[in-house]
Chains A and B, each alone.
Chain A
Amino acid sequence: MNRSRWTPALLAKALLPALLLLSASAAQAVPSFARQTGMACEACHTVWPELTHFGRMFKASGYVIDNLKQVKGVTPQREEILELAGLPPLSLMVQASYTSTAKAQPDSSGKGEAQNGTVAFPQQVSLFYAGKIAPHLGAFLQLTYGYDSGTIGIDNTDIRFADLKILPGDESLVYGLSLNNNPTVQDLWNTTPAFGFPYAATVAAPGIPYASQIDGTRGQDVAGLTAYAFWNESLYGEVGVYRSAKQGTGTGPLDSTTPGGVIAGSAPYWRVAYEQNWGRNSLEAGMYGATFKVYPDAGSGYGQPLTGPTDRYQDVAEDVQYEFIGDLHIFTIEATHIHENQSLDASFAINLAANTSNSLNTSRAYATYYYKRKIGGTAGVFSTTGSVDATLAPNSPDTKGWIAELNYLPWLNTKFSLQYTNYSKYSGLSNNYDGNGRNASDNNTLYLLAWLSY
């Protein structure tokens, strides 16, 4: 999924903050899990990438449930020292897309307009290693070529250790560790940012220009180690820390030339959730959050040493998910609200922010229906609101609208989507938000996507 990032200095310097798109990933569906377990996609997904209860347990269990013949190694003392799947759990994902905005975007050099109707072929190609590595150890590792970057880079990664403790009364306690590179990529519900709707988005149209730190901003930008426990398949808790681990910045330590804001020390992350399953229904409610202390990002030429004062972003979010999974009909609702408190003393001191504190609120709610896992769609609303800051968000970061998507899956691993995004407000205004006469509705986007996973 592509979200813009709120990196104060870059925003301050940029005339078109909306074009500062983070090269993040699309959400995934991974046929290698199906090959490994021998089960069809529907065991773990309603329609991918949205997870069912079993899919959540498969993930929590470390991606290791395995029904393949194994290559084994055993010592004379019968100690098992190797258990390896006969074939590696590899998958490929290909996306091709067409994007059109209501009005052509400005030419990036200021000479009139850009061409409208962008074909991305491929938009993205990803290679996955997704499955068991060894007993109790599994990985979801994605390498992605993106047409926007023109390069291959590391994408969402989640390497897990997990084990099961059987409690009295045969209750289960699944616990483990996740080493990952995107806060919430390890989460089990599709309400949280990394695997939330929209599961795929264009990079050829303006996206939502302001996002909190936990909301995709730090994707593939950090390394996190979290510990979690899932009791009786219902009560989930997780704590961990994230530290900057930037890609493509050379071999040396991070320093004043590093773009994108470096986290001071480690950012604590937490998650609690409760899930209740009854009949064909599953209901989850939870909270998650993280606190990032970040060195002000002055950008190239304005570099500040990575010492001294920091800005502080405190993210606290609530989420709720409901799933009805029938044989013919599937209906799901996913919603989240993220509140971010920003203490920007460090940025303020060097004129990268006009206020010493701001807030940013992000809300999303989506409903999805599918018939026979073949035809369906999602509709919902999104809203970002926050403080007016003469430097960072002169008209306020407020961006609101709705999104609707129709999907057709001739086979469970092939998806064809038609997505429409409508903006009623963009960067604080409905009309002339950029000072050059561009209206929020000019960014309304039609997006056609072919998405193949095999």
Chain B
Amino acid sequence: MRSASMTAVALALSLALGAARADDADALAHATAVRLAVGVCGTCHGPHGVSQLPKYPRLAGQNAAYLTAQLKAFRGQTRGDPDAISYMWGMAGNLEDGTIDALAQYYSSQTAAGGRGGGDAALIARGKEIYDKGVEQVGVPACAACHGPDAHGMADFPRLAGQHQQYILKQLNSFQSNMRKVAVMHGVAQGLKTEEMTAVAAYLESQP
């Protein structure tokens, strides 16, 4: 009995130590991620992931699973839109899995930028219609089906609300040309005309 309880104590202790080590590792990965986010990523993606320059996507409040998948796609050089190649293939080339996870956690826990006011009301209304209902005659499904009615996305499906209009438009073009190879989005984007993409992107930028 005595030895059993000792064993239990030892087991609990080693589990706790193991947990502590895991906590240490997490803390280290988190510290590394914050340092990277503030010192490197933030220079383009903005403080707390709210970028000003429309060339660089806003990362604040983005879904962690999506961010992790993208960073791994940059690292593995499987995401091939022009800016991914010129910037992110290098930037993410040497990131470890733990750092990628911690970066994804950091940005997903930041407060999203919120929608941008102003803009062309008619264009935004047209964008909302496409987002909510798709374009039936050419078989484009509703964006909301995957990205959610509020465009906050879920898991692998990215948050789009509050994203730069120009960035979304560029991605849709990259899906259409298949430079950024995502089968579902290639199908969707092929059915969209430029003015429809512009409208959807304008709507999404305006959304909180």
Contact = CB atoms under 8 A, between A and B. Distances in A.
A38 B90 contact: yes
A171 B34 contact: no
Given A166-B34, A166-B35, A172-B38, A39 B55 contact: no
Contacts of A67: 90-94
Given A54-B44, A278-B52, A279-B54, A43 B37 contact: no
A313 to B, nearest CB: 37
Contacts of B53: 277, 279-280, 325
A280 B54 CA distance: 7
B39 interface: yes
Given A67-B93, A69-B94, A280-B54, A57 B43 contact: yes
A327 B94 CA distance: 27
A215 interface: no
Interface residues of B, dominant DSSP: helix
Contacts of A318: none
Contacts of A233: 42-43
Interface string B54-88: 11000000000000000000000000000001110
B47 A164 contact: no
Interface residues of B, number: 24
B48 interface: yes
Nearest to A36: B90
Nearest to B170: A327
Contact size range, A: 20 to 34
Contacts of B37: 170
Interface string A61-95: 10001111100000000000000000000000000
A434 interface: no
Contacts of A171: 38, 47
Contacts of B86: 39-40, 42-43
A164 B90 contact: no
A37 B39 contact: no
Contact of A164 (B38, B44, B85, B94): B38
B89 interface: yes
Nearest to A38: B90
B38 A38 contact: no
Contact of B38 (A34, A43, A66, A170): A170
A53 interface: yes
Contacts, number: 68
A199 B53 CA distance: 27
A174 B52 CA distance: 20
B38 A39 contact: no
Nearest to B89: A38
B40 interface: yes
Contacts of A174: 39
B28 to A, nearest CB: 11
Most chain A Cβ neighbours within 10 Å, of B35, B47, B53, B87: B53
A171 B37 CA distance: 11
Contacts of B54: 279-280
Given A38-B93, A42-B86, A277-B53, A65 B38 contact: no
A69 B34 CA distance: 21
B39 to A, nearest CB: 4
A327 B87 CA distance: 14
B94 to A, nearest CB: 5
A34 B86 CA distance: 10
Interface string A147-184: 00000000000000000101000111010000000000
A279 B39 contact: no
Contacts of A42: 86
Interface string A319-348: 000000101000000000000000000000
B52 A277 contact: yes
Given A37-B90, A43-B87, A166-B34, A61 B39 contact: yes
Nearest to A61: B39
B87 A40 contact: yes
Contacts of A43: 86-87, 90
A34 B91 CA distance: 11
Interface string A271-295: 0000001111000000000000000
Contacts of A34: 90
Contact of A166 (B38, B87, B89): B38
A34 B48 CA distance: 26
B91 A170 contact: no
Nearest to B56: A54
B162 to A, nearest CB: 15
Contacts of B91: 37-39, 67
Most chain A Cβ neighbours within 10 Å, of B55, B90, B93: B90
B12 to A, nearest CB: 27
B104 to A, nearest CB: 16
A232 B53 CA distance: 16
Interface string A16-60: 000000000000000000100111101100000000011001000
Contacts of B38: 164, 166, 170-172
Contacts of B52: 277-279
A225 B136 CA distance: 67
Contact of A170 (B44, B48, B55): B48
14 contacts: A38-B89, A38-B91, A39-B86, A40-B85, A40-B86, A57-B43, A67-B92, A69-B94, A166-B39, A170-B38, A233-B43, A279-B53, A279-B54, A280-B53
The 6 nearest A-B residue pairs measured at CB: A38-B90, A40-B86, A39-B90, A164-B39, A67-B93, A57-B43
Interface of A: 34, 37-40, 42-43, 53-54, 57, 61, 65-69, 164, 166, 170-172, 174, 232-233, 277-280, 325, 327
